[in-house]
Amino acid sequence: MSLQSLSIGVSGLRSHQTRLDTVSNNIANSSTTAFKRQRAAFSEELGQAILGVGRTAGGSNINPSKVGRGVSVASIDRNFSQGSLNDTGIKTDLALNGDGFFVASPKSGAASDQRRLTRAGNFTFNQNGELVTANGLNVQGWEVGEDGTANTGELKNVQFDPNAQSAAKATTEAEVGGNLSADAEVGDTSEISSVVYDEQGKAHNVVINFENTSEDTWNYTVKDPDGVLEDENAGGGTDEDGVANGTIKFNDDGSVDTVGVNEAGNFNPDGGPNDGVSIDWQSDAVQGGKSLGISLRDITQFSGSTTSKFQGQNGNSSGELSGVQFTPEGKLQLNYTNGVQEEEYQLAIGDVNNPNGLEQQGENFFTTTGASGDLQLGRAGRDLQTSVVSGALESSNVDLAKEFSDLIKAQRSYQASSQIITTADEVLNQTVQLKR
């Protein structure tokens, strides 16, 4: 004699025990960095046919009838929705705002040599300057070239030299901007100055004097108080002539029409109209015949105050490493005491077509499977609509209120399944008593 209710009750106990385990695991990991909640999805077991299709009653078809045989766990799904971001103030704590995973090197000694994927960004730099996960795996990305673009190709370990220094760089370009007042009268002057650097990183002053000579026309004179630039007027000029001079003419709309240069060289780095003046460095300051190009094309002439100034220059003194940080694009940026910022690496962000197909490896790691699809690598903010948030960690997406509600439901369902077994057992006992 067979009583299906016994096996049905057992299937309910097993399934709801799995649900209890799943909910309990969610609650236990409610504070785990970047944990993604799971759910147990059930499916009905194939029923036992009582009346099949094709049976007729009075010549008419009747509906098929089957008695269910219980329940089973169809799948354990993971909810990959975004967790909230919590500020930590630690620069090496990284969070992903959007889809994707950080990519870590394969685990040493593991059976699989697949790269690990994780959203838990509680990283640190080890003694060698390598960015590593909490359990020591290297975080991977691409080297960044001098133009700021990642050299996508083979992944490398993200790292920097803790003893890095920024070399001195001679100034070869400087930009002047701001406004020369259109209200100025003939003879009015304005003077600006800037620091420039030679090849050893020594600072020198460069001064430019502007004088209004007529409507929409200004003369400029470049002066070199430290004597490190070649004097184009040597042998015939005067101190007032400076090392270079010329004329700036403005259009009616306040923009620069032409920049004229007397004796010194023209400065047009883009090969277009002359932007300014080019002056050679003295050989004992900068070797190799390098010049200092000063762009004057960004100056305007509008009514109001004169606000002309040096807007920047590309030289610097030598500097020591003062700190590191990550940009929203996931680029590792080194900051030096001389103000120079260098981008060394860009984090690789991995993604798959089916995140639920990833295989859990523990310690917040996943690996790809045939169900997940191949790993696709991209750059934050460019290939993916994802940004890297430095100084923050992603929280678990577990909702404790919902989990406790699910826990009670799972408990009640488990109790109901056990009651099925108790009732079935009593029925069996009564059946046995009938024989006696």
Q: Where does the pLDDT of residue 49 fall: very low under 50, low under 70, confident under 90, or very high at 90 and above?
A: low
Task: Supply 197's token pair.
Answer: 């650097």
Checking if the pLDDT of 59 tops 90, the result is no
Checking if the pLDDT of 77 tops 80, the result is yes
Per-residue confidence (pLDDT) for residue 151, from 0 to 100? 92
Checking if the pLDDT of 405 tops 70, the result is yes
| Signed CA dihedral, 401, 404, 410, 412: sign only | negative
pLDDT in tens, 103-128: 999 877 555 678 999 999 999 999 99
pLDDT in tens, 278-323: 999 999 999 887 899 999 999 999 999 999 999 999 999 999 999 9
Q: Which residue is associated with the tokens 């649900």? A: 19
Per-residue confidence (pLDDT) for residue 196, from 0 to 100? 97
Checking if the pLDDT of 58 tops 70, the result is no
pLDDT in tens, 167-210: 999 999 999 999 999 999 999 999 999 999 999 999 999 999 99
Per-residue confidence (pLDDT) for residue 236, from 0 to 100? 43
What phi-psi label fits residue 110: left (phi over 0), alpha (psi between -120 and 50 degrees) or beta? beta
What percent of the chain shows pLDDT beyond 70? 92
* Average pLDDT, integer, range 336-361: 95
* Average pLDDT, integer, range 34-39: 96
By C-alpha distance, which of 156, 68, 119, 62 is closest to 344? 156
pLDDT in tens, 223-281: 999 999 987 665 444 456 789 999 999 999 999 999 999 878 899 888 778 999 999 99
